Amino acid sequence: MSDPRPLPRRLDPRERPARRRAHTVATVLRVIAASLSVVLLLGSGWVWYLRGTAEQNLTRTDALPADGNSDAAGIDGGATNILLVGSDSRAGASQEELREKLRTGDSGTMNTDTMLVVHIPADGSRASVISFPRDSYVEIPGYGEHKLNAAYSLGYNSLDAEASTEDRDAAGAQQLVRTISSLSGVQIDNYVQVDLLGFYNLTQVVGAVEVNLCAAVQDSFSGIDLPAGVQEIEGADALAFVRQRQGLPNGDLDRIVRQQAFIGGVVRNLLSAGVLLNPLKQRDLVEAASQSLTVDSELDLLDLAQQLQNLVAGNVEFLTVPVADPNGRIDGSSVVVLEEPDTIVAFFAALDGESEPDEPADTSTVEPAEVTVEVYNGAGIGGLAAEAQAALEELGYGIGTVGNADSSDYTTSEIRYGADAAAQARTVALVVPGARLVEQDDLGDRVQLVLGSDFTGIGQETTAPQDDPPSGNQDRPRTAADTSCIN
């Protein structure tokens, strides 16, 4: 018996493009429908529900001081500046969480290891995230010059022992806000703080974040153990990734780049349709954020999220406050020396302006015979200065004073020079791979080579690399869309 069902009609080739267009249109309509469903949820009380969820769990603190902040110069145009602080506090973590999640065996103290200002212009079309090295040597209002990460503890300990922990935390946050505001010349509008356990919990909701390491890393202090290349990390690995400081070529500056790269990955995750169009994800994220963050008394997380809803990853830019010397030493302590205050204020004031094109960098050099270099042993290794002297002389360099440096614990070699000897210093740098150029006002036309423990010998003349270094001191700022490898 023949099958009464009609055979499927063979599609005429001329009809296939139309069928594909119809499928594409249907897909677009489904996306639009999903978007509209979110809009309807928002309009029907979803924002009210999320806001209520946030307020139920948020920890708030009186972080914005009555003085020393509102009188800052500020940036025109109604921009918002948020101080984002990451602390290494383990308060509230159980012994199991300390061991399994945070990979640390102690309760720690309240140190502000990560400090960033998130600058958002009034239209919310882009955002600038500016990092401050924790060891920046700065003026802390009322206390003189200290490392930046001392600001919070100075404020915290300014109250007498009878004060509540909440009041002491608020005093610490206010002192940090005053310091950042005074340093940058901008008014801090909101304050957000997250501790180690809070960071861990947030990464669990955001999901695995893609990062790209130039080389494999292993460090017992942070607990990191990751291979080279592109990979996704979350939880304890993510925490170790942003905390590692030991063993990085550029120390804290590399850690800052790590943090910027990780935040960039978080931004890419958050801007994906999987989060934006999924009410359950929205709820989980709000719950995790509200349970993990300490914020000022005025911040509305939902309003902030709506302000940023038009962002794309390429419009989130990461920068570091201008640094003059990342390996400075003051009173025997290692510090990060920032540029002059006027330079830093101008840097922040330019965030909303049209930037002028950079002038081409001066890369001029001279003949080795035109250079006289003083050689100092800063590594404490016997005969190192004499070895460098002989090698430089063989290459035709003139030699001045040879001896020991002011300290024997330099880890990075430095080429110090006066304003009139920049070309000569660059000429020395050609044959001392890895040495850091440091301009000093008091040297005039002199050039000094201070040998650190990284010194491996005088090399043959090389040319400066054409590509940006992978991490630490890029002239080109990163964006959240940047997935290039880092240290």
The residues pairing with 415 across neighbouring beta strands, listed in sequence order, are: 437, 449
Chain segment 150-177, per-residue pLDDT in tens: 999 999 999 988 899 899 999 999 999 9
Report yes or no on 426 lying in a domain.
Answer: yes
Instruction: Please give the model's pTM, rounded to 2 decimal places.
Output: 0.66
Report yes or no on 92 lying in a domain.
Answer: yes
Straight-line distance from the first to the last Cα atom of the chain, in angstroms, rounded to the nearest whole number: 74
Chain segment 176-225, per-residue pLDDT in tens: 999 999 999 999 999 998 877 677 777 777 788 888 888 888 888 778 88
Report yes or no on 255 lying in a domain.
Answer: yes
> Backbone phi, then psi, for 112, in 5-degree steps?
-90, 90
- Any idea what the CATH number is for the domain that residue 79 is in? 3.40.630.190
Q: Alpha-carbon distance 13 to 16, whole Å? A: 5
- Tokens 């070699």 belong to residue: 413
Report yes or no on 404 lying in a domain.
Answer: yes
pLDDT at 11 (0 to 100):
47
Report yes or no on 238 lying in a domain.
Answer: yes
Strands 447-451 and 190-194: unpaired
Same domain, 181 and 205: yes
Same domain, 261 and 376: no
| Confidence label for 481 from pLDDT (cuts 50, 70 and 90) | confident
Same domain, 273 and 333: yes
Q: Using the predicted structure, report yes or no on whether residue 2 has a pLDDT greater than 60.
A: no
Mean pLDDT score of the chain, rounded to an integer? 79
Same domain, 302 and 446: no
Long-range contacts of range 135-139, CB-CB < 8 Å, 24 or more positions apart? 135/252, 135/334, 135/335, 135/336, 136/321, 136/335, 136/336, 136/338, 137/328, 137/330, 137/335, 137/336, 137/337, 137/338, 138/179, 138/183, 138/338, 139/179, 139/182, 139/183
Q: Which of 69, 62, 77 is nearest to 119 (CA)?
A: 77
Q: Which residue has the higher pLDDT, 378 or 56?
A: 378
Domain around 380: 368-451
pLDDT at 468 (0 to 100):
40
Q: Average pLDDT for residues 64-77, to the nearest whole number? A: 69
Chain segment 270-315, per-residue pLDDT in tens: 777 556 666 777 788 888 888 888 899 988 887 787 777 667 777 8
Q: What is the CA radius of gyration of the chain?
A: 27
- Helix (H) or strand (E) holding 153, with range, is helix 151-156
Report yes or no on 340 lying in a domain.
Answer: yes
- Any idea what the CATH number is for the domain that residue 392 is in? 3.30.70.2390
> Backbone phi, then psi, for 147, in 5-degree steps?
-70, 145
Q: Using the predicted structure, report yes or no on whether residue 130 has a pLDDT greater than 90.
A: yes
Answer whether 180's CB lies under 8 Å from 155's CB: no
Same domain, 96 and 198: yes
Report yes or no on 25 lying in a domain.
Answer: no
48 alpha carbon, distance to own chain's centre: 33
The answer to which of 24-28, 280-284, 436-440 has the lowest mean pLDDT is 24-28
- Tokens 């994800």 belong to residue: 281
Same domain, 253 and 136: yes
Q: Alpha-carbon distance 321 to 91, whole Å? A: 30
Percent of the chain with pLDDT over 70: 76
Answer whether 244's CB lies under 8 Å from 215's CB: no
Percent of the chain with pLDDT over 90: 32
Same domain, 377 and 327: no
